[in-house]
Amino acid sequence: MGKLDFAGLFLLVGTLGVVAGVLVGIESSTRPENGMRRYQRIMRRFNWDVKPIDKKLELNSTRRLGVVLFLLSLLLAGLLVRVASLNCS
C-alpha cells in the first residue's frame, strides 16, 4: 500500500463528509424528532437544557434543513468526482 498524498487524503475526508452528510440529511428530513433528541443529548453534556419553543416549527425547520444538507452533500459528491477525474488524467 502506497503513501497517502494530499489529494488522496482530500478525497478520503471528502467522501466521509459526503456519506455523513447524506445519512444525517436523510434522517433529519424523514425523522426530525431523532435529530432534535440527539442535539438535546449533546447539549446536556455541556449542562444545557434545550427545548424548542414551538415544536411544530422546530420539526419543520429540521426537516427542511435535512433536505438542504442532503442536497449540499450530493453537490459535494459531484465536486469530489470531478476533482478525482481531474487528478487521474
Task: Name the amino acid, one letter, at 42.
Answer: I
Residue range 16-32, pLDDT digits in tens: 999 999 999 999 999 99
Task: Name the amino acid, one letter, at 16.
Answer: L
| Cell, residue 35 | 435529530
Checking if the pLDDT of 89 tops 80, the result is: no
For residue 49, what pLDDT is reported?
93
pTM above 0.75, yes or no: yes
Cα pseudo-dihedral 21, 27, 32, 36, rounded to 10 = -60
Domain regions of the chain by residue span: 33-81
Q: How far apart are CA 15 and CA 77, in angstroms?
A: 7
Checking if the pLDDT of 83 tops 60, the result is: yes
Place of cell 434545550: 50
Give 10 or 4, the one with higher predicted confidence. Answer: 10
25, HSE (Cβ side, Cα atoms, 13 Å): 16
Q: Which residues contact 28 (CB under 8 A, 6 or more apart)?
A: 34, 35, 62, 63, 65, 66, 69
